[in-house]
Structure 1
């Protein structure tokens, strides 16, 4: 995130040599995680076949950058250096193609489709922030992060399918809701493995809690309060996103979006009832099957409707 106080590149050329990357000259630090491991569909068969390779290129780029930000053996400065170099490769086509293959692949995809590079660069801004920022003071800070770590995915998909950018506030809301839900699911692991806390600290403090509440085997009253407040925020985001699939022109994208809305609603309900510290709170195969069928029917058969007049996503940050 430019101008945010993040560490600057140490090398004036902006190029990352094999000697400077560490880890045997590699830039990427693959975790082995794939689209199949995600909570929500990523480029599923519901999307038009011609679009799926471009979605795959975007996901591979995002996955590689996220893995760098999460790598436990790299210092924050090393992470930022690699992520800045990824951004330069995406913007300029420079850098060693062997080191930045996923950035070069996404650049070619974006050039072929006319989708702006900002949707990849915004992700890198969020991942650079992950390298150096471990706490979020309030909901507004968290949503600012989600606006760069999650919202670009929906904007990319809308631009890829030629949809109206007037739908950006709705897709931002949906993607940001998904990101918050993921953070709530993983709150214990994020604290334990990365010392990252995406729970707003002010909501923890309202009941006398702090980040150490996340070190417990079960949620304390303070953490439960903060989780529920986050879920209230998710509900507000989903209220904005719920009509969104019916406004899409591309019915296959509408079907996938409807599936995702349904899954988000069900995961929200499960997190209301469950304790993410005591056990993994996750969607079941039945959830996926039910939302798959209902989303498919809604996306393919429901009449197209304009989005109702609603506040912009920014209005939900207060």
Structure 2
């Protein structure tokens, strides 16, 4: 099994949401994101599967030593460090952010108490805001102004996780609800109020993350939008259930997951098609953000994108958009069948349409490259 296949298997087994979203990333970026996820998952396992807190701390120390000694080419103490070290050595992510993530895990082991909203914010930054910063680095984002939006998305997702996992965390002796140290002994109304407040904070940060989407390269934007909307839907499901988080863990069914992902892709495709059309009609006024590339709509560019390629790109994006609309239609038919004979057939068609959308989207990317033969 190759390294890439191993990382792919890890994200596929551990997170349906991130696994689905990752397929909308460019191939080169996708493999790096899989590697980063595999490393993060290994960190979790190093703590969760440890036989004692002291062993967990020793495991984290070895991960930290590998990061600190990376540039000196010292032998790794944790095999899983091989996922992230190439990214650090190539300066595609900052080791500082990875070290801050490890520090967040130590906060758990040291019994970090969340008493205030500021305590919650600090914990969520270390646990997930750092991952947001590493993700933007992998996607080639250079603008520092994008950092606050990346952190906001990571924090929002972590807050959603906290709201979803109140019971599970409480059974392990943990609580991230400000002011509530023992959820198993707290009143249901107090827990509901705390969860509602956390989800309100998360919603504010989801909106801030959306405001920063323009900083992302358009080839990666759809993937981030899908992940955002799927996690956001988990929070909305908790709200619709009356914040009854102690009754069980809130999860999205596969049909609902497909529907939310399809809606996110549809919205993002509309934005992309709009930008491409405007760029074609008004060259020089609009551009699609791509890192380390010149503005392809600049007339002085020695390798401009040909008009034919732009037309092909628009056509493929249109097919991708049509496939997404078909996905949404089949999902609606599945939930509201005219005949019981339909069974799972609409759902199968929905999955096929979604895969077709991804394929057309990936093909469209090929026509957004400079034409070296142009003069």
| Range into which the TM-score falls when normalised by the shorter chain | 0.7 to 0.9
Question: 2:210 aligned with 1:242, yes or no?
Answer: yes
Correspondence 1:163-202 to 2 at 5 A: 163=141, 164-192=143-171, 194-201=172-179
Where relative contact order (Cα < 8 A, 6+ residues apart) is larger, the structure is: 1
Aligned counterparts of 1:284 and 1:124: Cα–Cα separation in 2? 32
Identify which of 176, 184, 190 aligns with 1:214. Answer: 184
Q: 2:136 aligns with which of 130, 135, 158?
A: 158
1:119 pairs, out of 97, 103, 109, with 97
CA contact under 8 A between 1:187 and 1:214: conserved in structure 2? Answer: no
Say which structure is richer in helix: 2
Return the alpha-carbon distance in structure 1 between the equivalents of residues 74 and 58 of structure 2.
13
Partners of 2:101 and 2:263 in 1: how far apart? 31
Answer whether contact 1:190 1:196 (CA < 8 A) is retained.
yes
1:253 aligns with 2:220: yes
Q: Determine whether 1:83 maps to 2:60.
A: yes
C-alpha distance in 1, partners of 2:205/2:26? 27
SS in 2 for 1:41: helix
TM-score, with structure 1 as normaliser = 0.74
- In the alignment, does 2:140 pair up with 1:140? no
CA distance in 2, matches of 1:302, 1:165: 24
Cα distance in structure 2, aligned partners of 1:183 and 1:82: 24
Equivalent pair of 1:68/1:83 in contact (CA under 8 Å): yes
Unmatched 5+ stretches in structure 1: 1-31, 205-209, 307-318
> Displacement of 1:249 after TM fit?
4.1
Indicate conservation of the 8 Å contact 2:162/2:176, yes or no.
Answer: yes
Q: Show CA shifts across 1:61-107 (max 9, x none).
A: 111111222236212x332222122111122136654x412213311
Structure 1 consecutive aligned stretches of length 4 or more whose deviation exceeds 4 Å:
32-35, 303-306
Secondary structure, counterpart of 2:207 in structure 1: helix
Tell me which residue corresponds to 1:3. Answer: none
Select the structure of larger CA radius of gyration: 2
Question: Which residue of structure 2 aligns with residue 231 of structure 1?
Answer: 199
TM-score by length of 2: 0.63
CA distance in structure 1 between the partners assigned to 2:29 and 2:83 by the alignment: 14
Which secondary structure does the structure 2 equivalent of 1:242 belong to? helix
RMSD: 2.6
The answer for unaligned runs of 5 or more in structure 2 is: 1-8, 276-285, 288-375
- Indicate how the Cα distance of structure 1 residues 249 and 55 shifts in structure 2: closer, same or farther if over 3 A, else same: closer
What is the alpha-carbon distance in structure 2 between the residues aligned to residue 182 and residue 56 of structure 1?
Answer: 20
Q: Is the 8 A contact 2:11 2:34 kept in 1?
A: no
Q: 1:39 to 1:119 in 2, by over 3 A?
A: farther
> More deviation in 295-304 or 233-242?
295-304
